[in-house]
Amino acid sequence: MVFAYFPNSSDEEDFEFSDKNRKELERVVKKYPVKRSALIPALILVQKQEGKISSKAMQYLASYFKTSAMEIWSVVSFYTMLKTNDLGKFHFQVCDNLSCALLGAGKLIDFLEKRLDCPTGKTRSDKKFSIERVECLGACGGAPCLIINTDYFENITAEILEPIITSLEKGEAVIPRGADEVALNIIKDSSFISVENDVSDNSE
């Protein structure tokens, strides 16, 4: 019996996977002998579809994985890449750990805040940009570095970033910079350009 002392205040829309993502989840679940292992991949899928993980989506996954919403939330809140708030269409994750900081990550963040008109940790009101400081991104050889949506940009300075941002504002394609370049032929369909489309599909 589900007791309810307090009404559910959430006025979000109910969550449902798109057909494509449901199929993807079904494929992923098969990888593991225990269904629960697919929770983090499922959360990543939710985030890919919705741009964030809503309370309704957590409740959806709770029943999908036969557990409580608290269990899902405790996992979601543990992992920094899983978001419950709206991000910008272009989400900047700037590494400010030691190697990047030694080579000017701090200045880079100052530049970005001004250039994007958006404080760190926030999403700009038009939901175009958001900036986050993150821990080491594992690309210290190319410090300072950052990720825009899913793509790495290494050895970054304000001068290098300026045209990239301009292109993004214009809606032009931008290619990753640094070690990821060797994989351009493989990642071309999946990099943030397509993620961006996902998000805008959703918002319309």
Partner 1 sequence: MSSTLEKIVTSRFDDSTYQHIDAYEKSAGYQAIRSIVDKGVTSEEVIEIVKTSGLRGRGGAGFPCGLKWSFVPKVNGPKYLAVNADEGEPGTFKDRELMLRDPHQLIEGILIASYAVGIEKAYIYIRGEYSAPILVVEKALQEAYEKGYVGKNIFGSSFNCNIYVHSGAGAYICGEETGLLESLEGKRGHPRLKPPFPAVEGLYGRPTVINNVETLCNLPHIINKGADWFSQIGINEKNSGTRMYCVSGHVNKPGLYELPLGLTCEEIIEEHSGGIIDGKKLKAVIPGGASAPVLTSKEVYEDKIKMDFDSLAAAGSMGGSGGVVVMDESTCMVQVAARLSRFFEHESCGQCSVCREGTGWVSEIISRIERGKGVKEDISTLKSIDPNMRGNTICVLSDACAMMFGAILNKFQDEFEDHINKKCCPLNSPYSV
Partner 2 sequence: MSQESEINFLFNGKELKAKHGQPIIQAALDAEIHIPHFCYHKNLSVVGQCRACLVEITDAGNGKPIPKLQPSCATFASEGMVVSSETPRVDEAQKGVFEFLLKNHPLDCPVCDQGGECPLQDQTMSYANAISRTQELRRIFPKKEISPFIKPEMNRCVHCTRCIRFTSEIDGGEEFGWAFRGDKTEVGIYEDLPLSSIVSGNVIDICPVGALTDNKYRFTSRVWEMEHTDTSCTLCSIGCKQRVWSQEGILKRVTASENSEVNDTWICDVARYGWSGVHADNRISKPMVKVDGVLKEVDWDEAIQHIANKYVSLKQISGGVSFAGLGGSHSSNEVSYQFQKFFHTVLESDQVDCRIHPRDYSQTDAQISVFGCAGGFATLSDLSNSDHIVLYGSDPFQEHPILALQIRKAHSKGAYIDSINPRKIDLRLNNRVSHFIPLIGMEIVFIKAIQKIVSRKLFPDGMSNFSKENNPKGFDGLEDFLEILSADSFEHFFEETDMEMSLLEDIATRLISNKDKLTFVIGPFITDISLNIEILNLAKILECGFLYASVPPNLQGAFDMVVSPRGKDHYEKNFEVRNSDQVFESVLAGDISSLYLMNCDPISEHPNGKLVREAMESSCFVVVHATHMNATIPFADVVLPALTSYEESGSYTNIERRTLMNKRAIKPSNGLSGKENWKVFAEIAKAMEIPMRSNSLAQIQTEISEFFDDYKLALTSSNSNGVCLPQEKEGKFVVSKISTLEQEKKDSFKLILTPHLPLSGIYVSSAFHLWDMPDACIRMSGLDCDNFGILNGSEIEFKIEEKTLKLPVEIDDSIPAGLIFAPEGFLKIHNDSFLNMGEYFVLLEEKKENS
- Residues near partner 2 (CB under 8 A) are 1-10, 55, 58, 66-71, 73-74, 77-78
User: Among 62, 101, 158, 175, which residue sits at the site for partner 1 (rule: CB under 8 A)?
Assistant: 101
114 near 96, Cβ under 8 Å?
no
CA distance 43 to 56: 12
**Is residue 141 at the binding interface for partner 1, with CB under 8 A as the rule?**
yes
**Is residue 107 at the binding interface for partner 1, with CB under 8 A as the rule?**
yes
- Binds 66: which of partner 2, partner 1, none (CB < 5-8 Å by kind): partner 2
Q: For residue 69, is it left (φ>0), alpha (ψ between -120 and 50) or beta?
A: alpha
**Is residue 151 at the binding interface for partner 1, with CB under 8 A as the rule?**
yes
Torsion 49-52-56-59 (CA) sign: positive
Instruction: Pick between residue 146 and residue 168 the one whose CB is nearest to partner 1.
Output: 146
Instruction: Pick between residue 77 and residue 166 the one whose CB is nearest to partner 1.
Output: 77
Instruction: Pick between residue 141 and residue 171 the one whose CB is nearest to partner 1.
Output: 141
Residues 159-178 that bind partner 1 (CB under 8 A): 176
User: Among 10, 12, 102, 171, which residue sits at the site for partner 1 (rule: CB under 8 A)?
Assistant: 102
Which residues in 88-118 are b (16+ Cβ under 10 Å) and which e? Answer: bbbbbbbbbbebbbebbbeebbebbeeebeb
- Binds 82: which of partner 1, partner 2, none (CB < 5-8 Å by kind): partner 1
Burial of 40 (0-12, 13-18, 19+ CB in 10 A): middle
